Chains A and B, each alone.
Chain A
Amino acid sequence: MLQPFEVFEYHIDKLSEILAEKSKASLKDINKKLHCHYFENYFDGIGARTIIVENDYIDRDFLDDYAEYYVKCFKRYRRKCTRLHFFRTSLSSKDLDALLSSGPDDFLELKFQEAYLGFIVVIPLPRTVIGRTCLTAYPSDSGRRNFPILRPYQANLFGLSLQINSLAFQEQDMVVAACATSALWSVFHGTGMLFQHSIPSPVEITKAATDNFPIEDRAIPSHGLNYAQMAYVIRSVGLEPMLVDARDHYILKSILYAYLKGSIPLIMGINLYDVTGKRGRFMGKHAVAITGYSLGLSKAKPFSNTGFLLRASRIDKIYVHDDQVGPFARMKFDGKKVVFDQEKETKEASSISTSWRGDNGNGPIGSARAVAECVLVPIYHKIRITFETVHDSVLFFDLFFEQLRKKGFLPSLAQRIEWEIYFTTINELKKDLLNSKILKGLYRKNALTESMPRFIWRATAYTKDSPVLDLLFDATDIEQGNFFLRAIEYDPLIAMILRIVAKEEAVVENFEESPAGRILEWFKEQPIESF
């Protein structure tokens, strides 16, 4: 008779064995998967020591897929799954036995809870075996790594409450789900919490995607979705899809930073190239969910000849849920380009590293590179002002601001300011302002008590990590309207100079029709406080 649980010391070989045994896949197939290579580094990195195998587990998402497809197959597939729990300390069967047999033991319960690293559901299919997976993200490394989209997941192991902050991941089964389905499913786990919508199962996603495209391909087995189909799925959960070209890395980094910091995960469509030969060979299109970023560069990279400094340009890596690799898989902006032939022309494109193998899966890890194509952002329907509109307004304002600084009118700023532009909510903004040690008195109170919309674009200007100015935009307004809400001024001299020069006729004449016009108009309307 199958034991309800088994406990093993963690080792990658043991994990591969368990994956093969519980799914009934061959060990050879399991070891060929990129996931195993990825898990080896990942579990070493987060310090896994113990695996507890929960042998009889019913997974809601797999059950939906099972009811829709697998139950109707001639071959009998199992509907029950296995769940593997990972812990960072050494635990034994005796520990779990003691907890289950010897009555309440708060100390032992806490030992399990504190060491918990998350779980993997093993699904009983021949090759695609990684089901719903919620594992801890990499540690923050003093703020370098950022995973703003994490949310709490509860796991109940024989009554023991375990919790992990994660974003759900799963491998496509290549039947009811393709890569885009898995990426959408992960993204919905993030937006579902933020915008309160239901989270469809993979089969529901595939059906929503194909309902409106009956002649594109058959719905199930799914051979992959396109951007238009993904956009339909996003609409089906009540959100609005926003598609942006992301071949330019400045655009890609700025947009992913802006939305991820606001807890909105995005989907990135990539073209994969095999780079084992002299020329990149196109392998195919793929979709991943972007779940985090690393601010590994110490300085922002100036944007073109404007010199505009955006914090997002300091991103050196992104973390993605790549259903063929694993959760929080690293992709590095290492500056390498891919040269390839397309339509009888030789082309060159900026690329990002991957953990994929080129040469038909026989090349070394990393021998396939990604060229970003588009990002698809699922946003709440009331968010009408886009990142691009705000970015361009701040860019115009920055150039004027920088001119004032260079002329010596802003003496507290020794160097050019760095901008951080991101989506936020009124609650997050006010929590931040309440924690500010710079803002004081009536100004602080007014900023905190002012009525503001639920969704806000925030552009913060920094000098050496200290805020100088916040520009706040109403994300729910319309572009024709005055969507600039107000500034939060952290430096009285800078505030005074801006308020004074904004009142000058020459400034009004030059800038009133420009994207920075609304910002300068706000400063113009503010009273000048005497020193």
Chain B
Amino acid sequence: MNARSYDHDPNEIAEKAKKWVASSRGKRAMKEILEKATSAKERLEKDRQIDPKSIFEPMTF
């Protein structure tokens, strides 16, 4: 990785991030993320399913 300069103290940000994920608000946010992603994944899985009727219909054009 390349060394970059930041306006913020990286260690301070890291400490805040660590506290947030361990907090009840952070845990709730992660649960919501998982719910949202799971619902999007399920929708995609449904939409990706092939209509079996179409497999044997010839392309005549």
Query: What residues make up the interface of A, taking CB atoms closer than 8 Å to B?
Result: 178-180, 216-217, 223-228, 243-245, 247-248, 251, 269, 272, 283-287, 303-306, 308, 324, 373-374, 388, 391-392, 395-396, 399-400, 403-404, 407-409, 411-412, 438-441, 443, 489-493, 495-497, 500-501, 504-507, 510-511, 514-516, 531
Contact = CB atoms under 8 A, between A and B. Distances in A.
Interface string B22-61: 1000110111011011101101100111110011111111
B30 A506 contact: yes
Contacts of B59: 178-180, 224-226, 269, 284-287
14 contacts: A178-B59, A180-B59, A223-B60, A227-B54, A269-B54, A285-B60, A306-B36, A388-B48, A403-B29, A497-B17, A501-B17, A504-B21, A507-B21, A510-B34
Contacts of A492: 1-4
A479 to B, nearest CB: 14
Contact of B1 (A244, A391, A440): A440
Nearest to B29: A403
B25 to A, nearest CB: 10
B10 to A, nearest CB: 5
Interface of B: 1-4, 6-8, 10-11, 13-14, 16-18, 20-22, 26-27, 29-31, 33-34, 36-38, 40-41, 43-44, 47-51, 54-61
B48 A493 contact: no
B6 A506 contact: no
Secondary structure of the A side of the interface?
mixed
Contact of B48 (A244, A400, A403, A412): A244
Given A226-B56, A492-B4, A515 B48 contact: no
B30 to A, nearest CB: 4
A245 B55 contact: no
Contact of A228 (B18, B21, B55, B61): B55
Contacts of A226: 55-59
A407 B17 contact: yes
Given A228-B55, A491-B1, A506-B26, A515 B41 contact: yes
A285 B44 contact: no
Nearest to B33: A399
Given A224-B60, A306-B40, A495-B1, 5 more contacts: A225-B59, A285-B60, A412-B6, A500-B17, A531-B10
B61 A374 contact: no
Contact of A438 (B2, B17, B29, B37): B2
Contacts of A287: 59
A501 B21 contact: yes
A245 to B, nearest CB: 5
